[in-house]
Structure 1
Amino acid sequence: MLNRLPRWIEAGAFVLAAIAGLVNAVGLLGVAHQAVSHLSGTATLFAIAATELQSKPQLVFHLLIILLSFVLGAAISGVLLHGQTLKLGRHYDTLLWVEALLLAAAAWLLTADLQAGLYCASMACGMQNALVTNYSGAIIRTTHLTGIFTDLGLMLGAWCRGERLDKRKVGLFLLIICGFIGGGSVGALLWPLLSFQVLYLAAIACGVLALIYLRLRHQSA
């Protein structure tokens, strides 16, 4: 599957991973140490809070909305994207613009101390994760690293058995890891200066990606 993807996909995956890493760092630093780019931790917090529903109904509702926001973002990608192959001309730019708007809204709302900003950030991450998964067949994930590290471990084990190592896939996975960690570092470094407004940088990055995609599409027309 990966070998059929164009070479520029590595650069896009790196930037998207950096965006997710930055958003997640902001969530961990500013929203009760809560990750927003993936749902494992949020689902666990929801399970714990659900056992104390009578005393913490607002927390249960809040975590449920975060989970549903992520799903809604993925659903928006599902509506706009048709087919599971990467093809210039599809609505990738539209999704990137919507993600940029959601991240900008998240920055504005969280700066105003409104929890709705967290829902916008979660929706943006769900949209991004679905966008990438749709055309890569789940080979590429940019909003979390668990699957990436698992795949690297599997490939290392297969290589130890004597199988050929797919160097392009390894390189792509390392780029995603570096992008996610690098984005998280940028978010952490800028957090003391900009607080939630760091998310505006992620929104700008999404907009830049959308413009680059439009340029590629026009060049291929």
Structure 2
Amino acid sequence: MFTKLPKWVEYGAFTLALIAGFVNAIGLLGFEHQAISHLSGSVTQIGVSLMERPIVSVFLIALVGSFVVGSTISGILISGESLKLGRHYDLVLLLEGILLLLSTFLLYEHISWGLCLASMACGLQNALVTTYSGAVIRTTHLTGIFTDLGLMLGSKIKGQEVNKRKFVMFSVIICGFLSGGVLGYLAFQRINVSALVIPAVCCLLLSFIYRIYTQVTSKYKFQQE
């Protein structure tokens, strides 16, 4: 699977992981101190809050549900399991950017439900990558990636061959997510939750770049024919 992906996929994976790490950092540093790019902790919090503060569980369930809604929308917009120009990746990125902008506005007004829009944006992004990676690549959380790296290390210790492209891809995603966390922290220190505007703009730019790239490539292929 990895050998079939174009060379520029690493750059896209790094950028998307950086965006997710940035968004998650703002969620953790904000007034709710809530992780939003992955759901394991949130689901655990639901179980705890059901016993201690049931009213809080409503918000957490909405947070998890928003991620699923984002993934659902991505599944509707993108068909097929292979990476192919012309598919609606740009539209998914556009929606992600809009959701992050709306989330920024709500959080700026201290409306906690803005986190649900950010969670939905992360669901959109994670499903976008999953559609062409066969559920191997994730850009909004790292648990599976670290697990796969551990498996690869175990195989290497046993003397088995390791997929170098896969190792590079996972390393790129980890570096991207970590970089996003650092940049998110620095931005939050300066402009608080308004820092979410930065990943939102990045998504909008990626959407625009993909659209232009697709049009130019299609035009070139047409001229060649």
Instruction: Tell me the TM-score normalized by structure 2.
Output: 0.94
Residue 197 of structure 1 aligns to a residue in which SS? helix
Are 2:103 and 1:106 aligned?
A: yes
Runs of 4+, deviation exceeding 3 Å: none
Q: Distance in 2 between matches of 1:195 and 1:178?
A: 23
Provide the rounded CA distance (Å) in 2 between the counterparts of 1:107 and 1:183. 17
Q: CA deviation at 1:214?
A: 1.2
Percent sequence identity over matched residues? 51
AA aligned to 2:6 is: P
After TM superposition, give the deviation of residue 154 of structure 1 in Å: 0.6
What SS does the aligned partner of 2:104 have?
helix
Matched letter for residue 146 of structure 1: T
Aligned counterpart in structure 1 of residue 142 of structure 2, from 132, 141, 145: 145
The answer to whether 1:26 aligns with 2:58 is no
Tell me, in whole angstroms, the C-alpha distance in 2 between the residues paired with 1:169 and 1:50: 40
Do the aligned partners of 1:34 and 1:41 also contact (CA within 8 Å) in 2? no
Q: Is residue 80 from structure 1 mapped to residue 87 from structure 2 by the alignment?
A: no
Q: CA deviation at 1:219?
A: 2.5
CA deviations over 1:104-142 (Å, ceiling 9, x no partner): 111111001112210100000011111111110111100
Q: Deviations over 1:72-107 (max 9, x none)?
A: 000000111111111100000000000000001111
CA distance in 1 between counterparts of 2:155 and 2:71 reads 32
Aligned-partner Cα distance in 2 for 1:46–1:188: 26
1:59 aligned to which of 56, 59, 77: 56
CA contact (8 A) 1:69 1:123 kept: yes
1:116 corresponds, among 113, 116, 141, to 113
Equivalences, count: 218
Question: Contact 1:104–1:203 at 8 Å: present in 2 too?
Answer: yes
| Alignment-mate amino acid for residue 169 of structure 2 | L
1:17·1:177 contact (CA, 8 Å) conserved in 2?
A: yes
- 2:211 is the counterpart of 1:214: yes
Q: Which residue of 1 aligns with 2:172?
A: 175
Aligned residue in 2 for 1:41: 41
One-letter identity of the residue aligned with 1:133? T
Report the Cα distance in structure 2 between the residues aligned to 1:83 and 1:123, rounded to whole angstroms. 21
Aligned residue type for 2:61: L
Question: In 1, distance between residues paired with 2:197 and 2:138?
Answer: 22
The AA in structure 2 aligned to 1:33 is H
**Distance (Å, rounded) in 2 between the aligned partners of 1:78 and 1:138:** 13
CA offset at residue 60 of structure 1? 1.2
State the SS of the aligned residue for 1:51: helix
CA-based RMSD of the aligned residues comes to 1.0
Distance in 2 (alpha carbons) for counterparts of 1:34 and 1:151: 26
TM-score by length of 1: 0.96
Question: What residue in structure 1 maps to residue 223 of structure 2?
Answer: none
- Output the amino acid matched with 2:54: P
Q: SS at the partner of 1:102?
A: helix
Does structure 1 retain, via aligned residues, the 8 Å contact 2:32–2:112?
no
Report the residue type matching 1:41 in the other structure.
G
Q: What letter is aligned with 2:30? A: G
Moved more, 211-220 or 138-147: 211-220
The aligned amino acid for 2:17 is A
Native 8 Å contact 2:81 2:134 kept in 1: yes
